[in-house]
Amino acid sequence: MSDWGPVFIAVVLFILLTPGLLIQIPGKSRFVEFGNFQTSGVSILVHSVIYFTLICIFLLAIGVHMYNLFNSNTEMADWGPVLIGVVLFILLQPGLLFSLPGNGKQVEFGSMKTNGKAIAIHTLIFFALYAILILAVHVHIYTG
């Protein structure tokens, strides 16, 4: 039985917190900028901390689950979905390591710029990798 809750939460947070899509904290010229399709190392760090905080709240504190049939809830906290989500969130930010597609080329490396197509492609890559690791490989890190 697969729990799609962590996948859904992680993908939605990835989209909403991608720096430059809806909001960028800090922005290039102001503390907060909206829809500028820019990013920076500092804004990726800030957005990653926000991502970590929200995914911990949703997956560990609230315990969001979406099962296909019956609920088989465990009592232990599973940090696997949180840690995998945060690492993929950082690594797959368009413009940090790469942007697919880039603004002028098919692939750009370290440009710190993004665009709508790149955000969509990176979201699909995030979804695929996260779903594989959580649902197919069953990566779990339990704490008492």
Query: 30 lies in which domain range?
Result: 5-66+74-143
Q: Which two tokens stand for residue 58?
A: 């949703």
| pLDDT tens sequence across 108-126 | 999 999 999 999 999 999 9
- Residues 114 and 21 sit within 8 Å (Cβ to Cβ): yes
Number of domains in the chain: 1
pLDDT tens-digit readout, 31-53: 999 999 999 999 999 999 999 99
For residues 54 and 66, the model is more confident at 54
**pLDDT attached to residue 107:** 95
Alpha helices in the chain (DSSP H): 5-17, 41-56, 80-91, 116-131
Residue 138 predicted with pLDDT over 90: no
Closest to 137 in 3D by CA, of 80, 56, 73: 80
R_g of the chain computed on alpha carbons: 16
Whole-model pTM: value is 0.80
Q: Which two tokens stand for residue 16?
A: 């909403």
